[in-house]
Amino acid sequence: MPTTLVETIKPHTASTAIFGDQDLPLEERTDVTVAELEKMRLPMPTELYNGKVVFKMANHVHSVVQAAVSGEIYIYLKTNPIGVVSTDENYRLWPEHSNQSRIPDVAFITKERLPQERNRFLPIAPDLAVEILSPTNDFDDLMLKAEEYLQQGTQIVWVVITSTREVIVCTAEGKQFVKDVLTAPKLLPGFELPVSTIFAGITTA
């Protein structure tokens, strides 16, 4: 992952917190490490951008969409046990960098790629990453994050656009807007997720 790409992503403002005997509020620090973050037990999902904490704060629509996508993949895996699906899990996309971590809203990893040690942030990129664009997110930031996943080995990234009820499917070959059915034939054989199902029962206006 080129350093220039990491540096272009703008971190959101984090809530003030103190950890250990640090004198600076957590939101002002730029030296937080993954090992330190793992020990903090913060009350919400928290990523690291160049040693700076970034809290992910979901609204109602974001949470419902996240549950719908992860739930559909979970149901598929019940009869096709080829891997695991998770939400808000921290990944060390760059294991060699102690000050970087990313959290996809939903992630899928095949059984073959699951590390033995799973009680810490996984030092790999997921096979499938899902990011949900809600009013509190910046589109360019999210697309840069999708590029990070792809460059570190993720096969597919689904960027869900709540305002237009569509999904940008990102792969190494390019990007495609999908409004009908999401599939991933090589990764999730036979899996089909109508985009309308993702937004069933919610208002995105």
Model pLDDT for residues 41-98, shown as the tens digit of each residue:
888 889 999 999 988 888 889 999 999 999 999 999 999 999 999 999 999 999 999 9
Lowest mean pLDDT among 97-106, 115-124, 163-172: 115-124
Indicate whether 28 pLDDT > 90. Answer: no
- To which H or E segment does residue 46 belong? strand 46-49
Is residue 163 domain-shared with residue 185, that is, in the same domain? yes
| Assigned domain for 76 exists | yes
Cβ(91)–Cβ(104) under 8 Å?
yes
Specify the pLDDT at position 43.
80
Is residue 111 domain-shared with residue 154, that is, in the same domain? yes
Average pLDDT on 118-140 reads 90
Is residue 112 domain-shared with residue 182, that is, in the same domain? yes
Cβ(146)–Cβ(10) under 8 Å?
no
Residue carrying the six token digits 């990102």: 170
- Cα–Cα distances (Å) from 57 to 4, 61, 103, in that order, read 26, 12, 12
Cβ(167)–Cβ(157) under 8 Å?
no
Cβ(23)–Cβ(66) under 8 Å?
no
Is residue 88 domain-shared with residue 43, that is, in the same domain? no
Distance CA 103, CA 93 (A): 10
Is residue 30 domain-shared with residue 120, that is, in the same domain? no
Is residue 14 domain-shared with residue 67, that is, in the same domain? no
Is residue 101 domain-shared with residue 168, that is, in the same domain? yes
| Assigned domain for 205 exists | no
Is residue 141 domain-shared with residue 121, that is, in the same domain? yes
| Assigned domain for 94 exists | yes
Model pLDDT for residues 149-194, shown as the tens digit of each residue:
999 999 999 999 998 999 999 999 999 999 999 999 999 999 999 9
Task: Specify the CATH number for the domain of residue 186.
Answer: 3.90.1570.10
| Assigned domain for 166 exists | yes
| Assigned domain for 203 exists | no
Is residue 97 domain-shared with residue 157, that is, in the same domain? yes
Task: Choose between 101 and 9: higher pLDDT.
Answer: 101
Is residue 49 domain-shared with residue 72, that is, in the same domain? no
Total number of domains in the chain: 2
Distance CA 146, CA 161 (A): 13
Range(s) of the domain holding residue 186? 60-198
Distance CA 201, CA 197 (A): 9
| Assigned domain for 204 exists | no
Specify the pLDDT at position 134.
77
Distance CA 108, CA 70 (A): 9
Specify the pLDDT at position 83.
97
| Assigned domain for 90 exists | yes
DSSP class of residue 89 equals -
Is residue 47 domain-shared with residue 64, that is, in the same domain? no
3-state per-residue secondary structure call for 139-204:
HHHHHHHHHHHHHCCCCEEEEEECCCCEEEEEECCEEEEECCEEEECCCEEEEEEEHHHHCCCCCC
